[in-house]
Amino acid sequence: MVTNEDSDETLVGRYVRGDAAAFDLLYKRHELRVWRYLERNIRNQATSDELLQEVWCTLARNATSLESATRFRTRLFSLAYDRMTTALRAQPAPAGTQKAAGDSANPLAQAIGQLPREQREAYLLHVEGQLSVGEIAEITENAIDTTQNALRGARMTLRELLNEPT
């Protein structure tokens, strides 16, 4: 029986052995975080929806390779990052031209949208993906120092944009 207390890695193992309920729980557990990560970077709901489906379909098709992956969440957000960067490269207009859903009502979302791309990506992988600096560096193929600087810069810029004291 699948429980909410099972680790992601345990659920992957169960899914590989044919337990579809395990995949459903993984999806429910991570869907919103992955979608927010995509949407806050892409700034287009329809594209984010499509990319989210691509990520989960890829995971479902390649589940056996996930068993040997370091951490499910790292692999999940790595796939989301790959799909997102591919989509951003294909966009004819800069990513900042479309507002993210709810931007006008959410000052934090507006501020995140104003971050430079590298800072926004690192910040959202950290916040939405709950990933470590090392995992973010691995996903973005940056040095750990570069990733730490991006996160530090993002936090400083967000404080300034939100008029918070340091």
- Per residue in 134-158, pLDDT tens? 999 999 999 999 999 999 999 999 9
Q: What is the pLDDT of residue 52?
A: 97
* Average pLDDT per consecutive 10 residues, the chain (166 residues; last block may be shorter): 82 92 95 95 94 95 74 92 91 52 70 93 94 95 96 95 76
Q: What is the pLDDT of residue 88?
A: 87
The average confidence (pLDDT) of the chain is 87
Tell me the pTM: 0.81
Q: 74 with 126: CB under 8 angstroms?
A: no
> Domains along the chain?
8-161 (1.20.140.160)
- Cα distance between residue 6 and residue 1, in whole Å: 10
- In whole angstroms, how large is the CA radius of gyration of the chain? 17
Q: What is the pLDDT of residue 163?
A: 87
- Cα distance between residue 52 and residue 58, in whole Å: 10
